[in-house]
């Protein structure tokens, strides 16, 4: 009887094991083991697993350490093999508009945002679309604008650029007179404006266009009515976050909508200008991918723009087309849900602005630009301010050079003079890493307290 | 006894199954199942498995068919959902220098050439290197030149560009007088030359430089000795594959070494010019990645070049940095072995040249440029000709416009006039897909036979 029971048990166990080994697998359909992608996938996972203490990250193409793995690339002021050490007396660097505050968003969405580039991916000069575009990417850019409600793209042309940087000059060229006998177009902007406009236009000026200065300079000069103007407008504005309109009624206008996304700005009506610029650097945070686009109404302007782009760089890296498509697909899919990047961006920047605002308000040494809560069509609700930059004013007479005053307090900002504004102003970037922002607050604290001592 | 034997057998089987289920796995150490890369990897493998009959390929970012998978993108003249159908009377298109003959090389190296781009890969404007370079990529470019022996990079600066296309104008700018009062530099080349030089220089001409024409035009004109020249030289030359030297002794020279690689040319001494250009489009075939580099001796020229690049596009897509590094690593690792890309490229183009040569030689209607077998330092042996292009001459008087004569025979070539050469010449690209080359031979056949009829 015992023997029989033992045999019965053993047979049952056999049946069970047999089931586990040969049937169970089929039932649960485990993922088929990977073929040619396996080694690249494991390599990427190994690098992603490198511990950089939350103050850095390792990249697949980073410099290798002794063990053959890429080193951690640390946030500013952090160092050590795992970025765990904080440098003493390190200045807060809030100069650039590097939107690294979105890095955490993508790290949390590793699976959905990864992309495998095969060795033979889009090797050709030719894509499936016209003028070096890929059809799916162009389509998803239109879907993104529709989903966010920030721009009308129907019936308009789209061109891709290596960031909006490349497109600014391409559009200036396209809007300039093609007739060699015409006088050159005057490229202008209203202060304070993004300094890159002037630097770039000055470097690339041709017989057809040149930088003319600010629109307020023009008011004081005698301007021929025959002059062609190309007015550059950023809205919301860099540096001060205000909505802007062109001020020269008749001129050709390029509107840079880099910041017209719900992270930074309330979405009012969808923009419907003739020439509009967008950059993925401020939408998803991927400045390093060098990808932006223009939305163009006029076919002639579109054709001159694509001609410029084909003779400049023959289009944008198709590797980046692939990656941008994936990122945009994720942003569209997550829209309105828990993983909404616009919600994430808004929450992060609102918190930063509110902390900085509180600190600065406790002082009469500094002031910030005014922003009020406003209704946003995207969120369908009133939203608080969450600008990309603080446009800081030094109110003290002795702080006439505000950038320099901050520099003495170990804060690297972008001087107002670069924006052709009063030197009492300087720009603080609020879009960099959390470490950069935390250090900014830490360095601001004593500057505010100094005042307290001075006035007490 | 029977029962005991049964129990014994059953227990043995238990042990065996147990071993299989719980121990065996550990012994063989199967690859750990993938985490966040798994879905991107499976997606890429599914797309790579799409059957396009060898006359096309599907891409991850292609247009989707009804089933949600990307469609096949077919080689010229092929169509149908799997590219299996050949269009009747389809012209052979051998216009562009699209080096798709290397696609098969990368398809055969799927595992080693794939790369996973994580969602947070190099989002920043800033890289680990200076001037938007990544350190490992720059290092491997130097290693590649060392391994091939085609250029001296020691003690020289390297800059990255969106293809060599972007770098041509960046270098023209950098070599032009920075002093506004100087007369503009004259940009010149010797015919036949790559037409892009003229088209690009004309579009971007500034007060500092402009296109002046061919060097032979200069011989006939009165040229002030104060004129600054910038001479563009391609060696081996596009279109005719001949080694070229600058002809104006004192001028600034940009040498475009796009074709100075063992696929196309014997490697003689390593090039050691002041300003040298290279493009991945002709090395690995990845024209779509828009990646090239310049090797620059003078620090001032280097700095002006990087200034141009930062105001033009703020560097090159970091996604492409990552991919280019992977491709270059594969090329270095496979060097000298069975998978040597230079050997692969040489064998393919040698066979194409020899077939075309044989066909053309059977006719007195056409002739080709002369190439002789030459010793190559890279292969350490005499090598046969394997040029990227055939520089075809129509010998008949009635074929004065050779490009047009071929067009009538359903061959799309690049007209000699574009290279500022005699219209008796036209360029045939030998670097495109095998389908394009096969169709070229097929279309050439009757043109050659036509002659036979005329002269008999």
Q: Within a domain: residue B121? A: no
pLDDT by 10-residue block (mean), chain A, 456 residues: 61 54 44 82 97 98 96 98 97 98 98 98 98 97 98 98 98 93 92 98 96 87 75 98 93 96 98 98 98 98 98 98 98 97 98 98 95 98 98 96 98 98 98 98 94 49
Whether residue B417 is found in the same domain as residue B381: yes
> Structural domain of residue A304, as residue ranges?
135-334
**Burial class, A89, CB count within 10 angstroms (exposed 0-12 / middle 13-18 / buried 19+):** exposed
Whether residue B327 is found in the same domain as residue B360: no
Whether residue A98 is found in the same domain as residue A86: no
Q: Within a domain: residue B408? A: yes
Q: Within a domain: residue A44? A: yes
pLDDT at B150: 98
Mind listing the pLDDT tens digit for each residue in B195-210?
A: 999 999 999 999 999 9
Confidence of residue B317 (pLDDT cuts 50, 70, 90): very high
Query: What is the ipTM score, two decimals?
Result: 0.92
Whether residue A350 is found in the same domain as residue A412: yes
Q: Within a domain: residue A273? A: yes
Whether residue A212 is found in the same domain as residue A323: yes
B418: distance to nearest CA of chain A, Å? 16
Q: How far apart are CA B125 and CA A273, in angstroms?
A: 28
In the predicted model, what is the mean pLDDT of residues B51-65? Answer: 98
Task: Choose the final residue of a domain: A289, A304, A334.
Answer: A334
pLDDT at B27: 41
Which residue of B8, B32, B61 is the best one to mutate when testing the A interface, meaning the one whose CB has the most A CBs within 10 A?
A: B61
pLDDT at B227: 79
CATH of the domain at A438: 3.90.1150.10
Whether residue A330 is found in the same domain as residue A372: no
Q: Is the pLDDT of residue B181 over 60?
A: yes
Higher pLDDT, A385 or B180: A385
CA distances from A143 to A115, A320, A401 (A): 20, 18, 45
Over chain B, what is the mean pLDDT?
92
Q: Is the pLDDT of residue B8 over 90?
A: no
CATH of the domain at B44: 2.10.25.30
Q: Within a domain: residue B120? A: no
Helix axes B2-18, A2-18, angle to 10 degrees: 30
Q: Which residues of A touch B63 (CB under 8 A)?
A: 128, 135-136
pLDDT at B17: 52
Whether residue B313 is found in the same domain as residue B196: yes
Q: Which residues of A touch B61 (CB under 8 A)?
A: 122, 134, 136-137, 321-322, 325
Higher pLDDT, B15 or B171: B171
pLDDT at B452: 46
Domains of chain A: total: 3
Which residue of B117, B171, B333, B339 is the best one to mutate when testing the A interface, meaning the one whose CB has the most A CBs within 10 A?
A: B117
Whether residue B8 is found in the same domain as residue B45: no
B96-127 burial code (b ≥16 CB/10 A, e <16) = bbbbbbbbbbbeebbebbbbbbbbbbbbbbbb
SS3 A74: strand
CB atoms A36 and B57 under 8 Å:
no
Q: Within a domain: residue A22? A: no
Tell how far CA B230 is from the center of its chain. 25
pLDDT at B221: 67
pLDDT at A26: 42
Chain A residue closest in CA terms to B62: A136
Whether residue B86 is found in the same domain as residue B97: no
Task: Choose the final residue of a domain: B319, B334, B349.
Answer: B334
Higher pLDDT, B325 or A8: B325
CATH of the domain at A212: 3.40.640.10
Chain B residue closest in CA terms to A59: B121
Whether residue B270 is found in the same domain as residue B154: yes
Q: Within a domain: residue A118? A: no
Higher pLDDT, B305 or B450: B305
Q: Within a domain: residue A64? A: yes
Whether residue B423 is found in the same domain as residue B388: yes
pLDDT at A3: 60
B43-47 long-range CB contacts below 8 Å, 24 or more apart? B43/A116, B44/A37, B44/A115, B44/A116, B44/A118, B44/B114, B45/A34, B45/A35, B45/A36, B45/A37
Task: Choose the final residue of a domain: B334, B363, B391.
Answer: B334
Q: Which residues of B touch A207 (CB under 8 A)?
A: 205, 207
Q: Given B14, B288, B319, which is nearest A289 (Cβ)?
A: B319
Beta bridge partner(s), residue B275 = B296
Higher pLDDT, B424 or B15: B424
CB atoms A314 and B290 under 8 Å:
yes
Which residue of B319, B324, B325, B436 is the best one to mutate when testing the A interface, meaning the one whose CB has the most A CBs within 10 A?
A: B319
pLDDT at A23: 43
Whether residue A259 is found in the same domain as residue A194: yes
């Amino acid at each position: 009887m015992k023997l029989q029971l033992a045999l019965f048990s053993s047979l049952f166990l056999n049946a069970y094991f047999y089931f586990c080994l040969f049937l169970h697998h089929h039932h649960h359909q485990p993922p088929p083991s990977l073929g040619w992608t396996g080694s690249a996938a494991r390599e990427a996972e190994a690098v992603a697993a490198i511990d950089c203490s939350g103050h850095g990250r390792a990249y697949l193409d980073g410099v290798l350490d002794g063990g053959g793995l890429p080193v951690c690339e640390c946030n500013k002021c952090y160092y050590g093999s795992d970025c765990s050490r904080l440098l003493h007396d390190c200045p807060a660097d809030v100069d650039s508009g590097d939107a690294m505050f979105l890095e955490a968003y993508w790290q949390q969405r590793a699976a959905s945002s990864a992309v495998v580039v095969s060795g033979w991916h889009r090797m050709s000069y030719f894509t499936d679309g016209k003028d070096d575009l890929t059809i799916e990417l162009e389509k998803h850019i239109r879907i993104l604008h529709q989903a966010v409600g920030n721009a009308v793209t129907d019936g308009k042309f789209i061109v891709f650029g290596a960031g909006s940087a490349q497109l600014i000059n391409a559009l200036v060229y396209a809007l300039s007179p093609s007739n060699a006998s015409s006088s050159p177009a005057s490229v202008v902007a209203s202060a304070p404006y993004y300094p890159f406009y002037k630097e770039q236009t000055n470097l690339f000026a041709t017989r057809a266009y040149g930088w003319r200065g600010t629109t307020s300079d023009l008011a004081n000069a005698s301007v021929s009515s025959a002059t062609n103007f190309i007015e550059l407008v950023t809205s919301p504005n860099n540096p001060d976050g205000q909505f802007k309109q062109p001020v020269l009624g008749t001129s050709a206008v390029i509107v840079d909508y880099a910041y017209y996304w719900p992270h930074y700005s309330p979405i009012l009506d969808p923009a419907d200008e003739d020439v509009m610029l967008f950059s993925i650097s401020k939408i998803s945070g991927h400045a390093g991918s060098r990808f932006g686009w223009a939305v163009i109404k006029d076919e002639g302007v579109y054709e001159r723009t694509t001609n410029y782009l084909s003779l400049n760089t023959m289009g944008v890296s198709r590797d980046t087309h692939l990656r941008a498509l994936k990122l945009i697909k994720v942003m569209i899919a997550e829209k309105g849900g828990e993983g909404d990047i616009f919600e994430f961006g808004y929450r992060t920047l609102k918190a930063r602005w509110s902390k900085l605002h509180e600190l600065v308000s406790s002082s009469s040494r500094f002031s910030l630009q005014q922003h009020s809560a406003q209704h946003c069509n995207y969120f369908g609700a009133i939203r608080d301010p969450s600008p990309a930059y603080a446009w800081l004013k030094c109110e003290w007479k002795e702080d006439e050079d505000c950038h320099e005053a901050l520099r003495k307090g170990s804060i690297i900002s972008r001087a107002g003079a670069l924006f052709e504004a009063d030197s009492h102003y300087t720009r603080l970037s609020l879009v960099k890493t959390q470490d950069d922002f935390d250090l900014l607050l830490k360095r601001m604290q004593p500057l505010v307290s100094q005042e307290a001592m001075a006035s007490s």
